[in-house]
Amino acid sequence: MMTTVVSVSKKKVVKAVAAASVGNALEWYDFSVYAFFAIYISQNFFPEGNSSVQLISAFLIFGVGFIIRPLGAIILGNYGDRNGRKALLTLTIIMMAAGVLVIGLAPSYYAIGFGAPILILVGRVLQGFSAGGEMGGASAFLVEYADEENKGKYAAWLQASMAVSNILGALVATIVTLSFTQQQVASWGWRIPFLLGVLIAPVGLYLRNKLDETPQFIAERKKEKDDLTRETIPLLKALSKYPKELILGISFSVLWVVSVYTLIIFMPTYEQKTLHFSSSESFTASLVANVCMFIGCLLSGLYSDKIGRQKMLLFSTGLLFVGVYPMLLFVQSVHSFFVLVITQTVFCLLVSLFVGVAPSALSEIFPTEVRATGISLTYNLPNALLGGFAPAILTLFTEVFHNTFAPAWYVMICAAVSFIAILFMPHYRKTFTVIKSHAF
């Protein structure tokens, strides 16, 4: 088989990383600010009553958006494997921005009654559907632009962009809560972060429209055109030819989604509702911690190129299994802002060591022909079942059983599942196109 060698300039690589990361940042920014302001959203969009019931309702709406993610993964993953990574990434960022806008402008329950939570649900469904294809498309896009020695470094920017969006979310949340009174924030101030998030979309859309399609995808499409006997539906290819990879990918992604939604997205609400820290203390701790997460993601991705994905993943999974419970015990025992910052920073570092490697590791178990579909499915099914509903599940568990260590147990169980999956994960490193890119 003839091998095609393609040289990719540093400028193109930088544009690819920026374009993939900006859209991913928009997705995570919205998740962050929804969690940060969940208490205020629950008060605005659900009938007055028990505050815990209101909060659980808000998180259920948050989680319902994830039910649609597997459908988005199937439809958009197929779209990306047939029409290209660029086309997929352009579509997803438009849909994500529309969802953010709907939530930011939705009238409250006191204005339109039950139509209010329905609008929030519509916004979450739009975001969930688009997010179903975003991770698969963005991961495939980055690893297909990278040479073999730098796949981890490039793909790590996806999760580093999550840290950046969390930093922006925490920064905006801190500024809003310090600039306005509690009553103003509860009434309309919570909308400001959502409306600011819409401003990210034009930048991402511009960058993605300026991109070239990945060399690996172009080579794969040419090969499929030359071979008329090949199955042309990526979903059917993935299900029929790679069932083992799909099962292992789902098991691997369990910890990926649960660690993020439990220790990063849900934690600010947990700190306020269960540990009784103020909103400004919680947001500030999250801001500091996510700076460390940004650095941790990039370093873990870079280091995985040197020692291998499996070693890095096994190490980080083990740390998550043994480290979360003691840190949660620490912050509950010593209730201070300083300890809160330390605890949240450790959580973000533990998560970053794992998720910084996760996109490249997951993308490597699927060949180019089904990569976007495979990643989208294996990442979003656990999201729908375990990740998106994590805040609601943990809030309910804490309120009903008064077990303040529920987040730790949740992460530990998922870490055990993913550890086993990592031991058996295959890697498809051979491609039809050899990429030569300039490191940066």
pLDDT tens-digit profile of 168-206?
887 888 888 888 888 888 888 888 888 888 877 777 777
For the chain, give the number of residues.
Answer: 440
Q: For the domain made up of 17-431, give the CATH fold.
A: Growth Hormone; Chain: A; (1.20.1250)
pTM score, whole prediction: 0.75
**Segment 288-298 mean pLDDT:** 91
Q: State how beta strands 433-437 and 4-8 pair.
A: parallel
Q: Burial level of 335, CB count in 10 A (0-12/13-18/19+)?
A: exposed
* CA dist list (Å): 316 to 256, 321, 358: 11, 9, 11
* Phi/psi of residue 8, nearest 5 degrees: -110, 125
**Residue 428: left if φ>0, alpha if ψ -120 to 50, beta else—which one?**
beta
Q: Provide the total of helices (H) and of strands (E) in the chain, helices listed first.
A: 22, 2
301: left (phi over 0), alpha (psi -120 to 50) or beta: alpha
Give start and end residues of each alpha helix (H) in 180-278.
Answer: 182-184, 191-198, 200-209, 215-226, 234-241, 243-260, 267-273
Residue 271's closest CA among 258, 259, 283? 283
Q: Lowest mean pLDDT: which of 207-216, 364-373, 408-417, 428-437? A: 428-437
263 Cβ contact list (under 8 Å, min separation 6): 324, 347, 348, 350, 351, 407, 411
Specify burial of residue 356 (Cβ count, 10 A radius: 0-12, 13-18, 19+). buried
Whether the predicted pLDDT of 323 surpasses 90: yes
Maximal CA-CA distance, the chain: 68
Average pLDDT score over residue span 248-264: 91
263: DSSP letter: I
d(CA 228, CA 281): 61
pLDDT 10s digits, 157-175:
878 887 888 788 878 888 8
